[in-house]
Amino acid sequence: MRLLPLVFLLALPGALPAQHTYTPADIQEGNRLFRANCVLCHGPEGDQVPGIDLGHGRFRQTYSENALVKIIQNGIPGTGMPPNNLQDFQAEIVVAYLRSIATSGREVTGNGDAKRGKAIFEGKGNCLSCHRVYGLGSRVGPDLSDIAALRRSVELERSLLEPNEEVLAQNRYYRAVTKQGESVSGRLLNVDTFSVQILDSKERLRSLQRADLREAGFVNDSPMPSYRGKLSTQELADVVAYLLSLKGI
């Protein structure tokens, strides 16, 4: 399934009319569908296709939500817009997510400097103690080498300031407690009927037998600390600028 042609239809002055109310969970699922199917071509900000800027709500034409849903599902013959195997609600929440990023603002102000941000990331921020960039750093947290191709600037800012607000499923920590009382937490590498494999906070591979565990499950909160009050507004803008420069090799 590809949603690339969706932007051909949406990317285009005017704003989408709001016809329905969607919950935060609906918007998050729309985000997931967009990220899984569109972000490699259109970028997380929705501005990688010439003449299109979904992140700022720039459209050439206004469509009703119902019309957009039908176009997404049925495509447009003779154009690059093919039909997509999406249910009504799935198409609706993708449109709702695109509307939401057009209206979301930034908390961090000012122009960031990527070079200064790199120095803060590697120094004061101590980010390499958990993250890895271009082969350097720790494997405890997510590899950020191509984070700019996956996350919007506002999402990066939110992760720095309010890390518990949105924890992606693949980044959640897993915690296991043995019957002897030992607690092991870290990145979940694998879980099956008989065992659990965790990369712990010291980057050690721990393989635990499920029969030996008293409890096990995902941790709700992010292990990442908040940098609110720890970095100045300019320093935060610099770190975000550096992260936005990480587009893979």
User: In this structure, what DSSP letter does residue 174 have?
Assistant: E
The conformational region for residue 166 under phi > 0 = left, psi -120 to 50 = alpha, else beta, is: beta
The CATH number assigned to the domain holding 152 equals: 1.10.760.10
pLDDT at 142: 93
Q: Would 248 be classed as within a structural domain?
A: no
| Boundary-marking domain end, from 103, 134, 149 | 103
Integer Cα distance of 89 and 27 in angstroms: 11
The domain containing residue 209 runs over which residues? 173-218
Same domain as 93, residue 41? yes
The CATH number assigned to the domain holding 196 equals: 2.30.30.100
Q: Would 126 be classed as within a structural domain?
A: yes
pLDDT at 34: 81
Beta strands in the chain (DSSP E): 132-133, 136-137, 173-178, 183-191, 195-200, 205-209, 213-218
Residues in Cβ contact with 222 at an 8 Å cutoff, skipping those fewer than 6 apart? 163, 164, 167, 171, 172, 173
Q: Would 184 be classed as within a structural domain?
A: yes
| pTM for this entry | 0.70
Query: For every one of its 249 residues, what pLDDT tens digit does the chain have, with 9 covering 90 and above?
Result: 444 444 444 443 344 444 568 888 898 888 888 877 777 667 787 777 666 666 665 655 565 777 777 777 777 677 656 677 778 888 788 878 887 877 665 555 558 999 999 999 999 999 999 999 999 999 999 999 999 888 888 889 989 999 998 887 778 899 999 999 999 999 999 999 999 999 998 999 999 999 999 999 999 899 999 999 999 999 999 999 999 999 887
Same domain as 96, residue 40? yes
Same domain as 181, residue 147? no
Same domain as 124, residue 191? no
Number of domains in the chain: 3
| Boundary-marking domain end, from 80, 103, 126 | 103
Same domain as 161, residue 81? no
| Boundary-marking domain end, from 83, 103, 123 | 103
Same domain as 14, residue 39? yes
Same domain as 147, residue 192? no
Same domain as 179, residue 147? no
Q: Would 249 be classed as within a structural domain?
A: no
Question: Do residues 102 and 36 lie in contact, with contact meaning Cβ atoms separated by under 8 Å?
Answer: no
Closest C-alpha among 79, 106, 84, 105 to residue 95: 84
Q: Would 109 be classed as within a structural domain?
A: no
Residues in Cβ contact with 233 at an 8 Å cutoff, skipping those fewer than 6 apart? 108, 109, 110
Same domain as 130, residue 49? no
Same domain as 147, residue 28? no
Same domain as 214, residue 228? no
Residues in Cβ contact with 62 at an 8 Å cutoff, skipping those fewer than 6 apart? 14, 15, 16, 17
Q: Would 44 be classed as within a structural domain?
A: yes
Same domain as 236, residue 138? yes
| CA contacts within 13 A on the Cβ side of 16 | 30
